[in-house]
Copies of this chain bind each other. A is one copy, B any other.
């Protein structure tokens, strides 16, 4: 008899036991006459009090499903059919996990949803969110654009639109990308409900369970999760300061014949690394040689603070191997839920088939607003402003780290994007540090979240985009205080590190 208890459920334990036995009886898995285990024995097997099982059996007996016989134990009753039986069925809700697909079993990490819930928490200094600062959303412009559109377009703003997206916006994006040496016509472009949707569409169109996919050693968690949910075998290729290590990549491509290489070449999340031009060319050459498409995720390239604009893989691609993905979430506002992709025509058509079954098309008003915003030249002006501001915030965070960091903490110096990637002193576990930091009202994202496999527990991501320079300094001060205390007291350190610490205190 298979019965489990879930101690985290709100359903009392006795009721969990009762419900499961009831279902086993009603589904005829336990036949009339079957002898239930003695209360004491079942209690021991489940690790619950005997009284819990007693209560469960008592209720089952009251429902007429089982009967106790002195000397013979407790047995399953014969359940009459007809009305009485049906009434019993009526009271038994489904155990939903019995109905789930294997894909559902691979979708069990609530991290993204949890982090989104934290957006509006005000008492804590958050370096956890890699999104634009609320105060930079161009609300005034949006306001006047919307009233203008309402007068001009009226009800058309609430109509269905094409699955591929608002045509003028696709046309704008074709021109915008052309200026960055990407050749893509409106027919190659699909407007997405955020670039997350592009990852989902790519997973749907490419990934068969068991297929190999290549990612960077640490990367955007939403990509890892969506590829994993689709059943991909995920191969992480290490990075150095020039980006993806192409010599390792070559071996992985030769060995595993992946469906695609997922990469963020420019100001990678979480590392902030910008892939060198030589590496970009080498990556493409390998993609061509091994006939492997490249999914280039490029949310940050406009947010460069030094060194100028870097060419995308798509712009270097002479053989249509690159699928380009970007978003308005980082350069304008994430609540718009708008991104886009550019793909060769054949593939764009197939991605469109997938998109129509996802959500038909994106919000019509949002697409029109962004189109007007961009065409009025406001995107360029906005970018000039935020680049300047985010550069200051980056510098403030780097300076605060210089000022407060205890020995052993290392960090990156990104030329663009939103993130600083830290490596912790030996023995400090990012998860343990986070729980202490939360108490002191400062948060970040621990590194393991960005890793497909084990690893990353000695790393963490600090995002500087959402806090003013003053707040950044205070947040880094708190963060470093927590970290220093952890190192100095040894509390929360890994066992091995604590032992070394103890030895150190002896001498």
Contacts and interface: CB of A to CB of B under 8 A. Distances in A.
A335 B206 contact: no
Interface string A119-157: 110000000010100110101001100110010001111
B120 A159 contact: yes
A334 B93 contact: no
A360 B356 CA distance: 18
A54 interface: no
A35 B366 CA distance: 58
A175 interface: no
A388 interface: no
Interface in A250-308: 259-260, 285, 288-289, 291, 293
A161 B335 contact: yes
Nearest to A199: B357
Interface string A86-122: 1001111110110111111001111011001101100
Contacts of A366: 363, 365-366
Interface residues of A, number: 101
A360 B117 contact: no
Interface in A206-259: 206-208, 211, 222, 225-226, 229, 259
Contact of A116 (B155, B163, B347): B163
A196 B359 CA distance: 5
The 4 A-B pairs with the shortest beta carbon distances in the complex, nearest first, are A335-B364, A158-B333, A93-B320, A113-B163
Given A110-B352, A147-B147, 5 more contacts: A90-B318, A97-B350, A100-B205, A107-B204, A119-B160
Interface of A: 27, 86, 89-94, 96-97, 99-104, 107-110, 112-113, 116-117, 119-120, 129, 131, 134-135, 137, 139, 142-143, 146-147, 150, 154-164, 193-194, 196-197, 199-200, 204-208, 211, 222, 225-226, 229, 259-260, 285, 288-289, 291, 293, 318-321, 332-337, 344, 346-347, 349-350, 352-366
